[in-house]
Structure 1
Amino acid sequence: MKRICVIGGSRYFGKLLVERLLGAGHQVTVINRGSTPPPAGVEHLVVDRDDEAALVTALGVRTFDVVVDQVCYTPVQAAIAARAFAGRTRRYVMTSTIEVYDPATAALPTVPAGTPVPEQNVDPAGWPVAMDLPWQDTAYLEAHYAEGKRQAEAVFTRAGGFAFAAVRSAHVLGGGAQEFTGRLAHYTEHIRRGEEIAVHAKALPTVFIHHEELADLLLWAAGADFSGPLNACSDGPLDVRALAATVAAEIGREPVYRVVAAGETASPFSFDRHYAMSNTRARELGFAFSRTLDWLPGAVAEALAASAATAA
């Protein structure tokens, strides 16, 4: 049994992770602002992680074997957490994102299309950090999501108060109404209604992961001893047309496409740039991934059921 702290953990795969940790017999503490209570048996600290003094007070004399941070988006948040948890935990796992590799948001080493992007393409140890940017501004943060994650990783990597790992998640799908981004629902609804899906003429593949698989991986990562960034994605990249075809097969209606030029806004997961990740490192460390096409039809069926329930 380990003492594990989850920051966030109130929805989607974070909530599922908390349940997995409990089921594995761990002692779990959840830190969030209290919008959703955790399951029975979980200690709940209601505090705003951005308030360093309040966070330190709430932690008291508690120590943990592992902290899993689900909701760190900026270097400022990372710096607060690094100070607050220094000496309180031996290991810190941050949930990061595939978006750190997006060449549209930073000058990154070029990877040929078709070559899965490895972790070393974005090295947090050398990534520049700018604490004085307007990270507290919601619009700025939304527009600079990828850079916020890159800089947060960099802060934790250099903090030195604990072993640090960053799980860079692929695009997360599954769970029906729990999938709060609505990106899969975009496809189920557009295809069901015969509406156009905007795609790039040369849309490139990306990678995905099921929300349950990501919860399982984070559970595994909490008990592992690797450090540094780790890519998390199911096997089998898909481009937007392959994704739409899977949705269409469940609905029984052909998708309607509208082609947009490179650089123009398109439907979710239509990318005119390459940054599909490699999951080789995680595999070599012992995690076995599923295949995207094995779980995607079920995720589509969940999205359709959620849509029908809402309409009813």
Structure 2
Amino acid sequence: MKTALVFGGTRFFGVNLVNALIKQGVKVTIATRGETPDDFGDKVERLMVDRFNDKSVNEAVEGRNWDVVFDQLCFSSEDAKITVAALTGKIKRYIFTSTMSVYPFKAGMKEEDFNPYTYELKMVRREDVDYQEGKRQAEAYFFQKASFPVVAVRIPIVMGEEDYTKRLLHYVTSIKEGKEVYLPNPEAKMCFIHQKEAGDFLAWTATQDFTGPINACATGEITMQKLMEEIAKQTGKEVKIVTDQEMESPYGLKTSWSITNEKAQKLGYPFTKLNDWLPQLLLNLQQKES
């Protein structure tokens, strides 16, 4: 891989992806609307593109070729259709950032538990479906319609200091301020991935030759009870969990929900262990809010 086009790449783990590619010596082009500043300097080329407008994408990639394309900005089959049409004949490999949300709410989901090759394809816009169905339809379009090789990287909730969704920070702040935390099932387990590992894994995927869906997550799961206790430990506060008083709770699952990373491990990717980096991340977040 010598050249790469990244749709997105200026927020959260997209930044980690671009940095990983630069470290590999890849000539990187980032395609965005130009609304989010970046710190890449002259290490990347920039294209002004409206990812969700077919004319804009077509004009931006006209006469261009890349070895690999990374798509951080695809949320429906209509979105997928735009880049398949624009990039056919121009690329060697397409890496789509998908999600654990394509699976039902169960533990230990494997790649075969959602099959995009046989899933009923419907042309939908991201505005007309929920996040889960939008990503399912995007995968279905790529794997049923694209003529170039495609990989769909299915990731769980991403954790990191630069998480603009502030989901983990919600709990850190609540516990630090002595507020109650709502968890409908404190024993529900989840898996996660660190933003750096998400970026590194995407970059690694482009150097491999497999295609199809693949899960990516740190090794290990954690119950929500244990996660809250760890936050309390790092903040020096007591956690107050309630189960019968509904309030904002980004990780408020009623049942365990996780994926297995066995397939990627067998292909040679050395995942981190959740317990190795989670305490330090929680400490960093609580210090950041001080």
Contact 2:185 2:253 in 1 (8 A): no
Q: Distance in 1 between matches of 2:167 and 2:158?
A: 10
**Is 1:9 paired with 2:1?**
no
Any idea what the Cα deviations from partners look like across 1:246-291, whole Å, max 9, x if unmatched?
1111011120011138xx6662223113431010001001101111
**Is 1:170 paired with 2:156?**
yes
Structure 2 counterpart of 1:155, which letter?
Y
Q: Distance in 1 between matches of 2:90 and 2:37?
A: 24
Q: Secondary structure at the match of 1:197?
A: strand
Equivalent of residue 137 in structure 2, options 151, 154, 159: 151
- The size of the alignment, in residue pairs, is 288
Aligned to 2:79: 77
Equivalent of residue 160 in structure 1, options 146, 166, 175: 146
Contact 2:29 2:44 in 1 (8 A): yes
Q: C-alpha root-mean-square deviation of aligned residues, in Å?
A: 1.7
Aligned to 2:43: 41
Q: Secondary structure at the match of 1:253?
A: coil
Q: Could you list the runs of 4 or more consecutive aligned residues of structure 1 that deviate by over 3 angstroms after TM superposition?
A: none
Q: Distance in 2 between matches of 1:136 and 1:153?
A: 13
Contact 2:228 2:239 in 1 (8 A): yes
Q: Secondary structure at the match of 1:29?
A: strand
Q: Distance in 2 between matches of 1:46 and 1:297?
A: 39
Contact 1:32 1:45 in 2 (8 A): yes
Report how far residue 116 of structure 1 moved. 1.1
Aligned to 1:107: none
Any idea what the Cα deviations from partners look like across 1:127-175, whole Å, max 9, x if unmatched?
12221x4x253xx45xx00110011011001123210000001111112
Report how far residue 302 of structure 1 moved. 2.1
Q: Distance in 2 between matches of 1:249 and 1:189?
A: 13
Contact 1:174 1:302 in 2 (8 A): no
Aligned to 1:277: 259
Q: Secondary structure at the match of 1:84?
A: helix
Aligned to 1:106: none
| Percent pairwise identity | 35
Aligned to 1:193: 177
For structure 2, the residue ranges without an aligned partner over 5 or more in a row are: none
After TM superposition, the score normalised by the length of structure 2 is: 0.94
Q: Secondary structure at the match of 1:68?
A: strand
**Is 1:268 paired with 2:243?**
no
Structure 2 counterpart of 1:279, which letter?
N
Aligned to 1:91: 93
